[in-house]
Amino acid sequence: MASEPTAASSSDVPEISREELRRRLHDSSLTIVDVLPEASYLVAHIPGALNLPLEMLASRARELLPDPAAEVAVYCGQFT
């Protein structure tokens, strides 16, 4: 029986600081993804960020993020 994929532990996932994200907002090589519900995204989000609510991540990630080697920054909180 095949095992289900598991989420990477936080130590396996590189992090980007708020300051670096601010510097890279217009960097076309970085895709920014907001995983909050659509209602939260509509109220406020980082300009240019894609909305991919956490509950839709598994079903829509390959469609919206087709390049598995692309650099992606994911956020789930207020960006001020």
Helix, strand counts (H, E) of the chain: 3, 3
Residue 60, CA atoms < 13 Å, CB-side half-sphere:
11
Q: Which domain holds residue 70?
A: 15-75
Encode 25-43: b = buried (16+ Cβ within 10 Å), e = exposed: eeeeebbbbbbbeeebbee
Instruction: Please indicate, yes or no, if residue 9 is contained in any of the structural domains.
Output: no
CB distance 72 to 31 below 8 Å: yes
pLDDT tens by residue, the chain, 80 residues: 443 444 555 567 889 898 999 999 999 999 999 999 999 999 999 999 999 999 999 999 999 998 989 999 999 875 55
How many Å apart are CA 28 and CA 36, to the nearest integer?
A: 22
Instruction: Please indicate, yes or no, if residue 60 is contained in any of the structural domains.
Output: yes
Number of domains in the chain: 1
Instruction: Please indicate, yes or no, if residue 80 is contained in any of the structural domains.
Output: no
